[in-house]
Amino acid sequence: MRPITLLVRGAWSESARHNLERLVAAEPVGAVVLQLPPGGSEPPPSLAGTPIAAWREERPDGGAAVARLLERVETPYLLQVEAPGGLFPVPHVLERMHAVADATGALLTYGDFHERGARASEDRRTPADLQFHPLADYQEGSLEDRFDFGPLRLWSTEVLALASGRYGAPSAELIGHAWYDLRLKGSLVAPLVRLPEPLAVRERWDDPRTSGAAVFDYLTAERALQQEAEAVVTDHLRRIGAHVAEPFEPFESAGGFPVEASVVIPVRDRVLTVADAVDSALSQEAPFPFNVIVVDNHSTDGTTQLLADRAAADERLVHVVPDRHDLGIGGCWNMAIYHPACGRYAVQLDSDDLYEGNGTLARMVAAMADGRCGMAVGSYTTVDLALSPVAPGLIDHREWTDANGPNNALRIGGLGAPRGFATELVRRNGFPNVSYGEDYAVALRISGRHRVARIFDSLYLCRRWEDNTDADLSPELVARHQTYKDRVRTLEIAARRRRNGAGEGGA
């Protein structure tokens, strides 16, 4: 028996036919399964002598659909093909994936790819019309339901069956996260193995957006799907002994701060926008003293002189220039947090953003103080440089709940903005010295032990423009950021498991 069944989902098309023709030519393929949406063209009963089993599924990621699929697969491996456009596998790729899966006993084997029709790769050895897409290595903290496994994903049906037998099959009530559920359960039985090599060329398809436009995708899923994914990851955290449950530790500040709050603005080369940010912070009206600490990370575009002039005119503005040149955004936050002028609470403002109204600082501080919270998170609206609203608009992270937010935080990509922190808590560990995910790391650490206050009204205008740090990242940088966030989650899982008294593998 040839060991691999091909699984293709989506409408039957000429592109799908050609993709299958290239794959069924490989020696290990024994059968083809198509999960088609309602309506559309009918596929042939076979392709190049390989039988095709096809049926219609409205929700192919649902529990009932996945159960029907796995009942029909008789091979030890299932290759999930995710390529809406053309896919050109490298020669003998299935033999390669099969060999690695056999050797490692992997639940899932996946690998990097090239994309045609995108921007040229920076690697001179790559053809000019191809862009290399490395992926992130899977680790314990790879808990996002939208983790990118690329276009070729080889599942071990034997490991899937073992995981289902040990932890239960996905519920038939799941409408969109049965594979996610199986992935998390299976990860406790066998590894997920990435091949750090290009396995195929994928044609650029109908999503030409940059990383800055796609960054909000995980927030746009329908609410029922968000809640379902949250339930799946929460069950997983219980299984591994890393679940956080109330009551949380109340936080009481020891006092001794020069002001009640500081607005913290890290900046480098933002002469076009930083004055607006500073003015927004200084115009806050609050029943307590506050200051604004701007950490200027050696700007070269006139930002430094602009800030020096503003600081000379208003003593509430503290202009800090680090004495070293190796600091990321997190390192700049540490310069502010540990500065003697820092207040009891530190509230974030990015150098190209503004507070929405003059009551933002007061509301953030009140939310932390009244609830004896370790931090607070507000909501924001995306705008352009002229402050006109742009998609997706209001970002309020309503998936957060007091009871389960700290657990769901390990699944999602961020918690929102503006963010406020109890300075005393942050000083115990500091920010990681990176420029991506630094705030997420601190938020995970605090939320694992202390309440997080949430404000669901828009308090903040987030400018989206070409100079945003996440505006147009290369695939290499996207993978690096994913790896870092997953590592932060992995460390937090270990910390929560330790606090819960669970062993290495959970309770």
Task: Tell me how many domains the chain contains.
Answer: 2
Asked, for residue 286, whether it belongs to a domain, the answer is yes
Asked, for residue 413, whether it belongs to a domain, the answer is yes
List the domain range (segments joined by +) for residue 304. Answer: 261-499
Q: Do 37 and 128 reside in the same domain of the chain?
A: yes
Asked, for residue 124, whether it belongs to a domain, the answer is yes
Q: Do 407 and 265 reside in the same domain of the chain?
A: yes
Q: Do 204 and 272 reside in the same domain of the chain?
A: no
Instruction: Find, among 456, 439, 319, 449, the residue nearest to 379 by Cα.
Output: 456
Instruction: Determine the residue type at 200.
Output: A
For the cut 50, the answer to whether the pLDDT of residue 120 exceeds it is no
- Cis, peptide link before residue 432, omega less than 30° from 0: no
Q: Do 186 and 328 reside in the same domain of the chain?
A: no
Asked, for residue 220, whether it belongs to a domain, the answer is no
Q: Do 280 and 204 reside in the same domain of the chain?
A: no
- Integer Cα distance of 383 and 64 in angstroms: 41
Q: Do 203 and 270 reside in the same domain of the chain?
A: no
Say which CATH number the domain at 145 has: 3.90.550.10
Three-class HEC string of 147-184? CCCCCEEEEEHHHHHHHHHHHCCCCCCCCCCHHHHHHH
Asked, for residue 248, whether it belongs to a domain, the answer is no
State pLDDT tens for residues 311-348.
999 999 999 999 999 999 999 999 999 999 999 999 99
Q: Do 328 and 400 reside in the same domain of the chain?
A: yes
Q: Give the orientation angle of helix 475-499 with respect to helix 438-447, to 10 degrees.
A: 20
Q: Do 157 and 294 reside in the same domain of the chain?
A: no
Question: Of 208, 237, 269, which one is at a domain's C-terminal end?
Answer: 208
Asked, for residue 256, whether it belongs to a domain, the answer is no
> What would the mean pLDDT of 128-149 be, rounded to a whole number?
95
Asked, for residue 419, whether it belongs to a domain, the answer is yes
pTM over 0.85: yes
Return the SS3 of 496.
helix
Q: Do 182 and 314 reside in the same domain of the chain?
A: no
State pLDDT tens for residues 1-54.
589 999 999 999 999 999 999 999 888 999 999 999 999 899 999 998 899 999
> What would the mean pLDDT of 226-236 be, rounded to a whole number?
97
Asked, for residue 504, whether it belongs to a domain, the answer is no
Q: Do 8 and 141 reside in the same domain of the chain?
A: yes
